[in-house]
Amino acid sequence: KIKFIGHAVGFYLLWYPACKTAWLDEGDPSTYGDSELLSDLRRKHWTKICSNPVDMEAQTVAGVKSCCVFAQGKVFFKNGLLCLNTEQKWRQCDDYQVKFTCTGQFCSECRTRWFDHDDPTGNGDYEVLSDFLNIYPRELCPEPIAIEVQTISGEPASNTSDTFLNYDATYGFACVNADQGSRTCEDYRVRFTCPKEFCEGTV
């Protein structure tokens, strides 16, 4: 049993251009449980998270999605996650990590061009950061702080009916055809937000 801290945010907010951060993990579970609060994460990673996220997702550090995140894409909780050992039956809290969805200047201050390396033929559409770093090493920072994904026609990924295997600034993006039922993935492109020092040429 875990708690998501914050008010519910209507899904309509994600119609605006948005980007997702990397996965962040404030620390390991303690005697009391695991806490991944936006206020704590902002103090430690203030350049990597916007001040007012519109969404938060959570999973264990092993990659297992939390049961309550997304709520079928209709309701989001944006201020953090709190898991208390005293509220768990027969076990302690897992070690969680979280990522946030941001909008506005955070996404656009130092943003790359759009990249489209793959298409959805075969297994799916894979737009992987490590591939782009190998192909375009001067156009992309090695550690982006956010990623934005849309179809090649310009539709935000969050507005499609596809489900995604990966969608974060650390890995990149992956849509697997086998996860879409009778359909195949849309054809996607990605762009990354880098630390402003990358655009200023100071890194």
pLDDT tens-digit profile, the chain (203 residues) = 555 554 444 443 444 578 999 999 887 787 888 888 888 899 988 889 998 898 888 888 888 876 544 332 223 466 788 888 888 877 888 888 999 999 888 998 899 999 999 999 999 999 999 999 999 999 999 999 999 999 999 999 999 999 999 999 999 999 999 999 999 999 999 999 999 899 987 55
What is the pLDDT, as a whole number, of residue 11?
42
pLDDT value at position 203? 54
Nearest to 116 by CA among 130, 126, 105: 126
Contact 44/91 with Cβ under 8 angstroms?
no
- Amino acid (one-letter) located at 70: F
In angstroms, what CA-CA distances link 37 with 89, 107, 121, 166, 195? Answer: 23, 21, 39, 22, 22
pTM comes to 0.78
Residue 96 backbone phi and psi in degrees, to 5: -105, 155
Domain residue ranges of the chain, discontinuous segments joined by +: 2-106, 109-200
CA torsion sign, 46 to 32 to 101 to 22? positive
Residue 158, φ and ψ in degrees, nearest 5: -65, -15
